[in-house]
A = this chain, B = another copy of it.
Amino acid sequence: MKNRKLLMIPGPIEFEPEVLRAMGVQTASHVAPNFIKVFGNCLNAMKKVWLAPHGQPFIVSGSGTLAMDMAAANLIEHGDNALVISSGYFGDRFKDILDRYGANTTILSTEIGGDIALEIIERELKNKKYKLLTMTHVDTSTGVLINPEPIAALAKKYNVISVLDGVCSVAGEEIRQEEWGVDIVLTASQKAIGVPPGLALLVASQDAIDIWKGRKTPVSNYYADWQNWLPIMKAYQEGSPSYFGTPPVNLINALEKSLTLILEEGIPKRIKRHQKLAMDFRKAIQSIGLSILPKTDSIAANTLTAIYYPQGISGGDFLSGMTGNDIILAGGLHPKIKTTYFRVGHMGSVSENDLIAVLSALERVLYKLNYKFELGTSLRVFEEECVK
């Protein structure tokens, strides 16, 4: 029976059963009173999850890339200087997006798996007048975590709008948008937010909105233009319907359910759960001689772990062995080292049970592929961490 699989990729993830049920409910009219309430609840809950009480939330039909696109399209005008701090594939993508809207983009890339010193960023900010800076909280391609707080502070100091790509972090890593002064925090539904893919989510500060309002040129992307979406969001926040494009009613139903569960768990508790599971998982993985992609533990994400295949193990054999054990993992994504590592997502509804199942399947598959280690070690280590 190969029907109860465990989806442990960095999004989509295992969704809570009640979230999936909310997906399958008979679609309401997008202007029906009950849906207006659902949409409004989502917008309000986002402000709580993002810790941005004065932020302007946006919920738009699209993938996470649309959220990135929306930030760039609305804030960049031709010739603006933009600074991208990249820790992998998605940092690099942000440069492509910004360039598309006419930015002169400078990219500060970390080494693969490495960090970037604040001094380097500050030097760059001193060096040139930037309008906007982007950073990837957790790069889904590498599992590298950056610390947004001091970078956002630098951005503030140099009067630069800061954009945090939180696709792989919102609701799984600590984010205090308003306290840290991040202007835009964006994400997608299918990650730690816990809702099937199809929603681009973003909260913008008043400063970001003001800069958009002060544009001299129109936004060169119609669908992403806040001019279309801002009145809609404001209307639903105030309990009235409004129409630009038909909202994805079923996904928004599911979002309401998942945000409710998130707030019921409580943000600090939820972040701590992610943190502890990730740490324990890394120790377990390392105990059988595997290495993780992030160079130090302090820059390893809570939400996913990228792990190098051991010498002599074929990625294809390994991943198909895992699938044969009903555990779905993801291959590498960073173009330069794609075939040398795999990724395990651990966010949203994830529990110790899930990670134990992953570790055990991983041990059994590696064993069959003749990797040398003592069976059971990673499980023992994981348990020792759990009971601490």
Binding site for B on A (CB under 8 A): 1, 3-7, 9, 11-18, 20-21, 23-32, 61-66, 69, 72-73, 96-97, 100-101, 188, 190, 196-198, 218-225, 228, 243-251, 261, 265, 270, 325-328, 330, 333, 348-349, 351-354, 356-357, 360-361, 363-364, 367-368, 374-377, 379-384, 386-387
Looking at the assembled complex, report how far the CB atom of A382 sits from the nearest CB atom of chain B, in whole angstroms. 8
Residues of chain B with a CB closer than 8 A to A20's CB: 24-27
Contact A223 B15 (CB under 8 A): no
Contact B357 A383 (CB under 8 A): no
Looking at the assembled complex, report how far the CB atom of A62 sits from the nearest CB atom of chain B, in whole angstroms. 5
Query: Pick the contact of A356 from B11, B24, B250, B357 — CB < 8 Å?
Result: B357
Contact B26 A15 (CB under 8 A): yes
Query: Pick the contact of A17 from B3, B61, B219, B354 — CB < 8 Å?
Result: B3
Expressed in whole angstroms, the Cα–Cα distance for A162 and B333 within the complex equals 39
Expressed in whole angstroms, the Cα–Cα distance for A27 and B221 within the complex equals 30
Expressed in whole angstroms, the Cα–Cα distance for A284 and B142 within the complex equals 36
Contact A383 B368 (CB under 8 A): no
- Among residues of B, the one whose C-beta sits closest to the C-beta of A6 is B353
Query: Pick the contact of A246 from B21, B63, B357 — CB < 8 Å?
Result: B63
- Among residues of B, the one whose C-beta sits closest to the C-beta of A264 is B1
Query: Pick the contact of A12 from B27, B197, B261, B349 — CB < 8 Å?
Result: B27
13 additional contacts (CB under 8 A) given A198-B248, A223-B224: A1-B270, A27-B196, A29-B330, A61-B198, A63-B246, A69-B223, A73-B221, A100-B221, A198-B250, A360-B383, A375-B383, A376-B380, A379-B383
Expressed in whole angstroms, the Cα–Cα distance for A310 and B189 within the complex equals 45
Contact A245 B65 (CB under 8 A): yes
Query: Pick the contact of A23 from B224, B247, B250, B348 — CB < 8 Å?
Result: B250
Contact A383 B356 (CB under 8 A): no
Expressed in whole angstroms, the Cα–Cα distance for A379 and B96 within the complex equals 47
- Among residues of B, the one whose C-beta sits closest to the C-beta of A70 is B223
Residues of chain B with a CB closer than 8 A to A353's CB: 6, 325-327, 357, 360-361
